Amino acid sequence: MRWISDIRTWPTALNVPTRNNRVSVVIPIFRAFRFSFVLSFGLLVLAGCGRAPDTSVPDYTPGADEFSVMSFNLHQYSLQDRDGDGQVNDPKPAEERRAVVEIIRSENPDILVVQEMGDPSVFQEFLFALKEAGLDYEHVEYLRRGKSSITMALLSRFPFASRESHLDDIYSIGEAKLPVARGFIDVVVQVNTSYTIRILGAHLKAKVFSPMGHTEMRRNEARLLNKNVRQAMKNNPAENILVLGDLNDSFQSAALREVMGKRRRILFDLRPLDEWGDAWTHFNREDDSYARIDYFLVNGELLSEINRKKTRTVRNPLTYEASDHRPIVAVIRAVDAVTTNQVSAKDLDGDD
C-alpha cells in the first residue's frame, strides 16, 4: 500500500516555479510503521531486562500505635425462605458463611462493623464461628429495631467508653411518620488510655420499591445521621468521629450530600481503593453493575490520623462467594494529631 500526496515546494535554483508549483511525493507507510513498531518493542524489552516481575504483597498490618476498623455488609446473614417452602428458617448457606469468616480472619480487624446480620440466635452463631477461627471480640454492640431480621453489630477488642445507639429517630414524608429502619450504631471506643474514637454505623434504606419513595426515605435517614454527627461534634469539638457502613447510594447522591453536610462539609470521604486502584464495593448480579456504596467518612479531627496507604477496599476472591459487597478497612493511628480542618459552631447549625 502506498500513499501519494501533493506538497507545495519553495522555489530554488533547481526548482523553477511553475503555474501549479507542486510535486508528487511517495511515502512508504508500511516501512515507517514497521520501523516504529520494532523500535518501540525493542525499547520495552530493554526496559524490562534484569527486572523480575513485582510479586510482592503489600503489608497492611497496623503498626504498634495503630488499629484497624472493618465495615462489611454480609448479604443476608440471616434466616430466609431460601427453598421456597414458605418457612423463614433457612440460614445463609454454609459455604457462604465460611467465606465470610475466612475474609474477616485474614484481615483480622480490631473493630468490626457488620450490616445485614440476622436475629440474636444467628448473631450468636456468627460470634461462635469467629471465635472458632481465632477471632474473639469481647465488646459488642448489637442493634435491632423491633423484630427486624436485618440488623447491625459492632464488635471490638477495645472497651466502650459510651454507648448511645439510636433506635427512635423519626422523620416525616407528607403526613407519614417513619422510623430509621435499622437505626444507627453510636459508640465511643476507648482504644488506649489517651485515645478514643466515636463510631457511627449506618445501613441506609436500600434502592427497592417503597410507596413512600426509597430515594426520599434514604435522604431523610441520611439527614438524621448527619444531625447525630453534628450533635456529637457540638458536645465535644475535639472528638474523633468515623461514620461508616452501607449508605446504599453514590457519592454524588442527595443522601451522601446530606450525610456529609449540605452547607459546608463536616465529613470527609476516605474513598478506599484496592491494590488495583478499584473503588467499587458492591456487585449487582442482576445487571452486572459495580458501584461504591460502602463508605468511611471522617471529621477533621480524625482525618490526619488515617493511614491512607493501609486504608483500602479488600480484594479477595472469596468475596464473590461471601457477599455481594466487598469489605473496606481503615487503619488509624491512635494518637491525637493537630487538625487543619476546623469546623465552627456556626457550621454545625442549619442543615436540619
Per residue, the 3-state secondary structure of 206-257, as one string, reads: CCCCCCCCHHHHHHHHHHHHHHHHHHHHHHCCCCCEEEEEECCCCCCCHHHH
List per-residue pLDDT tens for the chain, 352 residues long: 434 333 333 344 444 444 444 444 444 444 544 555 544 555 444 444 444 544 567 899 999 999 999 999 999 999 999 999 999 999 999 999 999 999 999 999 999 999 999 999 999 999 999 999 999 999 999 999 988 889 999 999 999 999 999 999 999 999 999 999 999 999 999 999 999 999 999 999 999 889 899 999 999 999 999 999 999 999 999 999 999 999 999 999 999 999 999 888 999 999 999 999 999 999 998 889 999 999 999 999 999 999 999 999 999 999 999 999 999 999 999 999 877 666 765 667 756 6
User: Which three three-digit cell numbers place residue 41?
Assistant: 518493542
pTM of the model: 0.82
* Positions of CATH 3.60.10.10 in the chain: 67-348
| Phi, psi (rounded to 5 degrees) for 104 | -65, -40
Q: How far apart are the first and last CA of the chain?
A: 70
Q: Quote the crossing angle between the two packed helices 94-107 and 120-132, to the nearest 10°.
A: 60
According to CATH, the topology of domain 67-348 is Deoxyribonuclease I; Chain A (3.60.10)
Grid coordinates of 343: 469546623
Angle at 48 between CA 47 and CA 49, to 5 degrees: 95
Cell 472458632 identifies what position? 132
Beta partners for residue 289, in sequence order:
284
